Amino acid sequence: MKTKSYLAKNYNRKKISFFKGKGSFLYGTNGAKYLDFVQGIAVNSLGHAHPELIKAINKQSKKLWHVSNAFIIPEGEKLAKKLAKKTFADSVIFQNSGAEATEAAIKVARRYFYSIGKPYKNRILCVKNSFHGRTLAAIYASGSKKMIEGFGPKIGGFDHFEFGNHKSLKKKIKKNTAAIMVETIMGEGGIKVIPNWCLKGLRKICNQKKILLILDEVQCGVGRSGDFFAFEKSKIKPDIVPIAKGIGGGFPIGAVLMNKKVASGMTPGTHGSTFGGNPLAMIVGNTVMDIVSKKKFLNSVKKNSSYFFEKLIIIKNKYPKIIKEIRGEGFLLGIKLYGDQKRFIKLLMDNKLLTIKAAENVVRILPPLNVKKQEIDLAIKIIDKVCEKYK
């Protein structure tokens, strides 16, 4: 059956839809039940229809949905305090999406240098073929030819270096550089983890050159890596961190976290958002935060994700001609294939496991952070079966 779609064709959608979700599972309109290891691309951090999120949003929906940021929003004050207490941050600005959060991060960096009388320091140094979102500035920040095609004129102010190329990184830092902005773990770019010693190196360079470090944790943050933030294991402190995906548990929330130094530039009127931080969103964010930021919860993410990783390594060793590498950290995992990853993902879907592609022929695996061990076992069984078929 082919029905006309009135949606623009900017997505190549899979011919499948769902009517219900529960925990790690999605129920298709085709009658099939799927193990959902996409979770809205790392968005549903607590799976589908989490009872505490349902309770929180139901209760708040009867009280108050939206008021302007012209007034104090206590639910937002509360979430900002929790984020600050848990992390490096001293201040937070709420947004509605990842791209907005990364753009706000860029604004905070530029505004800081403006406020200290160095407005010429305004260029942001990013990784080539990274991902920071789809707004105009974000696509130019990402430095991907494909994403900017047809969307000129160019938005200036971004320079790029190759992932892992330290020489090119150092060479690209100029007098007018304001900040280095990188994803702590590249998501769309193929699940590439910046090792601890490189994070430390980045911090050191930024200190030496007196520039800011922005770590985009829109995908890898909020517990997905096993720590609340993926950079925590390196013991460094960034200056600015945009987050989004996981913090809303399925409700659109973005935020930019910053230290006191850079927050000083964000005086009244410098930034704003009509929807950002409204009571309904903030109630959900608070509920996600209360669960995800607990040490016990994060320890379970660490433990279960290591279990998953080990099982994936066993599969890789069983099919060394199919799987080149297992990548990632926590529940941001990737299977790098030698061959076509799209056919592999299709086979997984035919066997009722949903995954999503990333660059470099990687199959991206994003379970909910509260996934059960037997669900991991089920996924492993399906991946094993698909490897057998894929040969």
Ligand X SMILES: *Cc1c(COP(=O)(O)O)cnc(C)c1O
Considering the complex, state which of residue 83 and residue 147 has its C-beta at the smaller distance from ligand X. Answer: 147
Least separation in angstroms between residue 283's CB and ligand X is 20
Considering the complex, state which of residue 75 and residue 188 has its C-beta at the smaller distance from ligand X. Answer: 188
Whether cis (ω within 30° of 0) applies to the bond prior to 153 is: yes
Residues 77 and 248: their CA atoms lie apart, in Å, by 16
Interaction mask 168-207, ligand X, x per CB under 6 A = ---------------x---xx-------------------
**CA nearest to 181, candidates 273, 77, 110:** 110
Least separation in angstroms between residue 121's CB and ligand X is 23
Does 133 sit near ligand X (CB under 6 A)?
yes
Does 335 sit near ligand X (CB under 6 A)?
no
Does 370 sit near ligand X (CB under 6 A)?
no
Tally Cβ neighbours within 10 Å of residue 210: 10
Considering the complex, state which of residue 187 and residue 265 has its C-beta at the smaller distance from ligand X. Answer: 187
351: number of CA atoms within 13 Å, CB side? Answer: 20
Considering the complex, state which of residue 187 and residue 328 has its C-beta at the smaller distance from ligand X. Answer: 187
Q: Show the DSSP H helices in 215-340 as ranges.
A: 260-263, 279-292, 295-318
Residues 268-307 touching ligand X, rule: CB under 6 A, are none
Residues 140 and 44: their CA atoms lie apart, in Å, by 28
Tokens of 196: 């601890």
Does 219 sit near ligand X (CB under 6 A)?
yes
Residues 112-131 touching ligand X, rule: CB under 6 A, are 131
71-79, 214-222, 225-233, 299-307 -> range binding ligand X (CB under 6 A) = 214-222
Whether the CB-CB separation of 219 and 190 falls below 8 Å is answered with no
Q: Show the DSSP H helices in 73-188 as ranges.
A: 74-86, 98-115, 136-142, 145-148, 166-172
One of 141, 202, 212, 218 touching ligand X (CB under 6 A): 218
Considering the complex, state which of residue 138 and residue 322 has its C-beta at the smaller distance from ligand X. Answer: 138
One of 244, 266, 353, 379 touching ligand X (CB under 6 A): 244
Residues 238 and 75: their CA atoms lie apart, in Å, by 26
CA dihedral 28, 11, 146, 350 (to 10 degrees): 30
Backbone torsions φ then ψ of 338, nearest 5 degrees: -80, -40
Strand partners, 28: 18
Considering the complex, state which of residue 123 and residue 132 has its C-beta at the smaller distance from ligand X. Answer: 132
| Residue with the shortest CB distance to ligand X | 98
One of 36, 75, 216, 232 touching ligand X (CB under 6 A): 216
Interaction mask 91-110, ligand X, x per CB under 6 A = ------xxx--x--------
Least separation in angstroms between residue 390's CB and ligand X is 27
Residue 164 region by backbone torsions, left for phi larger than 0, else alpha for psi between -120 and 50, else beta? left
Does 88 sit near ligand X (CB under 6 A)?
no
Does 231 sit near ligand X (CB under 6 A)?
no
Binding site for ligand X (CB under 6 A): 97-99, 102, 131-133, 183, 187-188, 216, 218-219, 244-245
